[in-house]
Amino acid sequence: MNNQPKHTKAIVLARTNYGESDRIVKLLTRDYGKIAVIAKGVRKERSKLAGGIELFSVSDIGFILGKSDLATLVSSRLVKHYDAFLNDLEKVNFGYACLKSINKITADAADKHYFLLAEQLMQALNQPEMPLSVISAWWYLQISQLTGHTINTSSLVDGQGFKDGQAYIFDVDHGGFILNENGDIKPNHVKFLRLCQNQDPKLLAKVQGGEELAEDLISYLHGFVEYVH
């Protein structure tokens, strides 16, 4: 029944003030995809809902479905607030951009993998020793894969294999690499991309020279994500 609360874990994607004291919140949930809820009275000083809908947090929420697409938030409890990076403006801006990107590309039926990826992103950003360049490269590879636009790191665009001593350029149209003696992408860059596709950011941060490899790749990866979305 519609008046029975549903409970799940959620991450805030966006918040908009509504009326005198309410707020409309877009949430990425573990079990119900992306939902929009109205948090009534949440901007009042003693609201019991406010603490559970903070940005860069995971919360336990309860909501009731209504006749419209807008559900009603009835409970929220903060589980984890990722605040160790909030004084790092570059990381904060990147985090905001990633959440905005998820909000843009996900439909209401977004599966739990988006929730898990967003949670993993916040965990990585919250590690002071984790270079933003590495996090960025990992994120672009992961969100590309999740949306069905995997960059081909198994072979060149023409089907040939990668070989030591070669140089490549990135072909955004095909999401892959083309052999070019003047290219600035080397086999080590491709190996790092493979790790980004399959490993946790914590491991990537331990790769020797990984920060520099990531910095070389970011413009290509960001451009590809913008192109396919």
Instruction: Establish if 49 belongs to a structural domain.
Output: yes
Instruction: Establish if 95 belongs to a structural domain.
Output: no
Residue span of the structural domain in which 33 resides: 6-81
Read off the pTM.
0.91
Q: Could you report the per-residue pLDDT of 140-160, keeping only the tens digit for each?
A: 999 999 999 999 999 999 999
CA distances from 195 to 117, 175, 213 (A): 16, 17, 12
Instruction: Establish if 114 belongs to a structural domain.
Output: no
Identify whether residues 13 and 74 lie together within a single domain: yes
Instruction: Establish if 119 belongs to a structural domain.
Output: no
Instruction: Establish if 108 belongs to a structural domain.
Output: no
User: How many domains does the chain divide into?
Assistant: 2
Instruction: Establish if 110 belongs to a structural domain.
Output: no
Identify whether residues 12 and 76 lie together within a single domain: yes
Among 81, 115, 145, which residue terminates a domain? 81
Q: Could you report the per-residue pLDDT of 44-92, keeping only the tens digit for each?
A: 888 888 888 999 999 999 999 887 889 999 999 999 999 999 999 999 9
Give first-to-last CA distance, the chain, whole Å. Answer: 37
> Maximum distance among all alpha carbons in the chain?
65
Identify whether residues 61 and 146 lie together within a single domain: no
